[in-house]
Amino acid sequence: MALRLLSAGHRVWLYNRSPERLKPLELAGATVCPTPRALAETVEAIIFMVTNGEAVRSILNDMGLHSREAAPGGNPPSPLGTCAIIQMGTIAPVESQAISQSVAEAGGTYLEAPVLGSIPEAKNGKLIIMVGADDEAYQRWQPLLACLGSTIYHVGPIGSAATLKLAMSQLIGSLTAAFAQSLGLVQAAGIDVETFMAVVRQSALYAPTFDKKLHRMQTRQFADPNFPTKHLLKDMGLFVAAAEAAGLSPLPAESVRQLVDQAVEAGFADDDYAALFNIVSPLPNSD
């Protein structure tokens, strides 16, 4: 994403809690900031792509979110009063709304802009971006987001895009689990997998993710993930909580969440979430 912004002519400053990961981007022309506050004092907009809502809040606090005016103890006013915070990770709608309120109290602007897509889409600027923000903020920052995504939807106010992203994440988990189980039954019955896939591809049931995960499941090779299992577990948990808060039954999403949890417990936390196949279709004589 940073490379996309650089290639579009933007000047880019970076902060990462693991600074060694920024060396390639520094060589590409970005400037590394030593602290979150140094970053916030330099830029017009800050794009967050971090693990969860707790990480967003922690970094915002390090940027000086606490106060709009200088505190009695002599701390300088928050630099966020001149920044737009564009939060692009997957967090709970209620977390996003609470962070938005805190940013507003510091005088800043907040947008939620979670994405669909993984490493290839990020590299090619083909992410699908869902935005929750007021109209003015959306219009102001839509050109920046267009550097990162080919399709941008202004979903509604803060919380709406976070909710839509969870709805999509639930589909990711549930489709993958369902495909893994069908593939496992086909293999157990000795049916040719290509025949199975030919039928699926010709049907209304087909989803492109099936072909994307087929080779990994057939070979049981889950390293070098586009999206690790531990992040899907977090997303499925957020969906279940949001569904319950909305008065919906958590099933079947909770069942899928439990499968993903089993995959994490089995050692696949940092592997591709296609590792669900090893849970629903374990190798013979495996524990």
C-alpha to C-alpha distance for 130 and 156, rounded to whole angstroms: 9
CA 16 to chain CA centroid, Å, is: 16
Residues 246 and 112 in one domain: no
Listed residues 141, 157, 173: the one ending a domain: 157
Structural domains in the chain (count)? 2
- pLDDT tens for 107-125 read 899 999 999 999 999 999 9
DSSP string, 194-244: HHHHHHHHTSTT--HHHHHHHHHHHHT---S-SSBHHHHHHHHHHHHHHHH
Confidence (pTM): 0.93
For 18, 46, 233, the CA distances from 35, given in Å and listed in that order, are 11, 13, 30
Residues 59 and 90 in one domain: yes
User: Please, are residues 105 and 68 in contact by the beta-carbon 8 Å criterion?
Assistant: yes
CA 133 to chain CA centroid, Å, is: 18
Structure tokens at 32: 């590394």
286, part of any domain? no
Predicted local confidence at residue 80, as pLDDT: 82
Residues 123 and 210 in one domain: no
CA 14 to chain CA centroid, Å, is: 19
Residues 148 and 202 in one domain: no
Predicted local confidence at residue 234, as pLDDT: 98
204, part of any domain? yes
78, part of any domain? yes
User: Please, are residues 8 and 49 in contact by the beta-carbon 8 Å criterion?
Assistant: no
Listed residues 157, 191, 207: the one ending a domain: 157
* CATH number for the domain that contains residue 49: 3.40.50.720
Residues 191 and 245 in one domain: yes
Domain that holds residue 241: 163-280
Residues 42 and 22 in one domain: yes
Q: Which amino acid is at 91?
A: I
Residues 99 and 141 in one domain: yes
> Of 31, 35, 24, which is closest to residue 10 (Cα–Cα)?
31
Residue 243 sits at φ, ψ, to 5 deg, of -65, -45
User: Please, are residues 116 and 76 in contact by the beta-carbon 8 Å criterion?
Assistant: no
Per-residue pLDDT in tens (0 to 9) along the chain, 287 residues = 999 999 999 999 999 989 999 999 999 999 999 999 999 999 999 999 999 999 999 999 999 886 444 445 556 677 887 899 999 999 999 999 999 999 999 989 999 999 999 999 999 999 999 999 999 999 999 999 999 999 999 999 999 999 999 999 999 999 999 999 999 999 999 999 999 999 999 999 999 999 999 999 999 999 999 999 999 999 999 999 999 999 999 999 999 999 999 999 999 999 999 999 999 999 887 55
Predicted local confidence at residue 78, as pLDDT: 77
